[in-house]
Amino acid sequence: MSGQHPTPQVWSAIQSAARSISRRRFLGSLSIGGAAALLAPAATPTFARASLHTLSLLDANIAAQAGASYTLPPLPYDYAALEPHIDAATMRLHHDRHHATYVTNLNNALANYPDLQGRDIVDLLYHISDVPEAIRTTVRNNGGGHLNHSIFWAIMGPTGGGQPIGALLDAINTAFGDFAAFKAKMTDAATKQFGSGWAWLVLDGAKQLQVISRPNQDAPVMDGLAALVGVDVWEHAYYLKYQNRRADYLAAWWNTINWESVGKRFDQARGA
C-alpha cells in the first residue's frame, strides 16, 4: 500500500509546483483583469502588489536603504533572554553565524546587480520571479533566510508565552476553533515539515489566518502571504540543546512567543 503514497521529496515537489502555478495564475490575473481570477480554480487569496507597502512595514526594521547593503539586525534582546527555552549558545550561533551568513551571501549575490541592492527584502522576495535566473536561487535561499530570521527574532521575547488577546485571539478562534487547536495545528505543521524548513501562521489576501509550512528558507511573502508567526525547524535552531528532539524544542518554543509583537503584525497586515 505504501507505493500509493508519494515520498516526502515527491510530495514537496508537488506542493512547490502547485504554489508556482497558483502564483503565476495570480500574477497573470493582474495583467488581464479580475475576470481571469474569477475563472481560475480556487486558490489561496494573495496580497496584491498595492498592499506591498503595508507588507513591508511589517518588517520595517530590515528595510534596507536604496543602494545600501543588507545588514544583520541586532538581536532585540540578550542572547540569554529566552532561557531556559532557547539557550544562549544556540541564540549566539543562530543569530551571529547562521543569520549573518545569509546576509553576507545575499549581498555577495547582488554584487553585480546594483539595481537590486538595498531593495526592500519583502519586495525583492515577492518579485522573486523577476530576479535574474543566475542568482534567483541564491537570493531565494539567502534573502528568505534573512527575512525569515528577522521575523523570528521579532516575534519572540523574554516575557513570551501565553496567548494573544483581542482581535488576534478572536481571529484565531474563528479560523481554528480555539487557541489550543491552533497550537496543535502549528505544532503539527512544524513537526511534519520534512527536513529543514519553517511552519508559519500567515494572513492571506482574504484576511484569513492559515497555518502553513515551507521548506528551506522559502518565505511566505513569495506566495503573497503576510507572515505573522514563524518557527524555525532547521536543526541549527535546536540541536545544541535538544539534539534531534524537535518535538521538545517546539514545546519549549511556545513559551518564547511575544504575542504583543505578533498582534501588531496582525493589525498591520489586516489593514493592508
For the CB of residue 98, give the shortest distance to Fe ion in the complex, in Å.
5
**Of 124 and 231, which has the nearer Cβ to Fe ion?**
231
Q: How many whole angstroms separate alpha carbon 57 and alpha carbon 62?
A: 10
**Of 116 and 147, which has the nearer Cβ to Fe ion?**
147
**Of 226 and 237, which has the nearer Cβ to Fe ion?**
237
**Of 23 and 99, which has the nearer Cβ to Fe ion?**
99
Does 238 interact with Fe ion (rule: CB under 5 A)? no
Q: Which one of the spans 43-51, 59-67, 169-177, 237-245 is the region binding Fe ion (CB under 5 A)?
A: 237-245
* Number of H-type helices and E-type strands within the chain: 12, 3
| Sole binder of Fe ion in the list 59, 120, 218, 232 (CB under 5 A) | 232
Q: Where are the alpha helices (DSSP H) in the chain?
A: 8-32, 34-39, 52-57, 88-92, 100-109, 121-126, 133-154, 166-176, 179-192, 239-242, 246-253, 259-270
| Cβ atoms of residues 171 and 230 within 8 Å | no
| Sole binder of Fe ion in the list 47, 102, 198, 234 (CB under 5 A) | 234
Give the residue closest to Fe ion by C-beta.
Answer: 232
Apex 85 CA angle, 84 and 91, nearest 5: 90
Q: How many whole angstroms separate alpha carbon 96 and alpha carbon 166?
A: 35
For the CB of residue 168, give the shortest distance to Fe ion in the complex, in Å.
25
| Cβ atoms of residues 223 and 46 within 8 Å | yes
For the CB of residue 253, give the shortest distance to Fe ion in the complex, in Å.
12
Q: How many whole angstroms separate alpha carbon 71 and alpha carbon 63?
A: 10
**Of 26 and 238, which has the nearer Cβ to Fe ion?**
238
**Of 59 and 232, which has the nearer Cβ to Fe ion?**
232
For the CB of residue 170, give the shortest distance to Fe ion in the complex, in Å.
31
Collapsed DSSP state (helix, strand, coil) of residue 203: strand
- Chain residues that interact with Fe ion, rule: CB under 5 A: 232, 234, 237
